[in-house]
Amino acid sequence: MLGKRQSEADSAVISVILNGEPRQVREGSIADLVASLGLDVKKVAVERNRAIVPRSTLAEVALAEGDALEIVHFVGGG
DSSP category for residue 62: B
Task: Please say if the pLDDT value at position 1 is more than 50.
Answer: no
d(CA 25, CA 11) in angstroms, rounded, equals: 10
The predicted structure's pLDDT at residue 74: 86
Global pTM value:
0.82
Q: Is 39 left (phi over 0), alpha (psi -120 to 50) or beta?
A: beta
Domains along the chain with CATH numbers? 3-73 (3.10.20.30)
Render pLDDT for 5-59 as a digit per residue (tens, 0 to 9): 555 556 799 999 999 999 999 999 999 999 999 999 999 999 999 999 999 999 9
Pick 56 or 74 by higher pLDDT.
56
The predicted structure's pLDDT at residue 18: 98
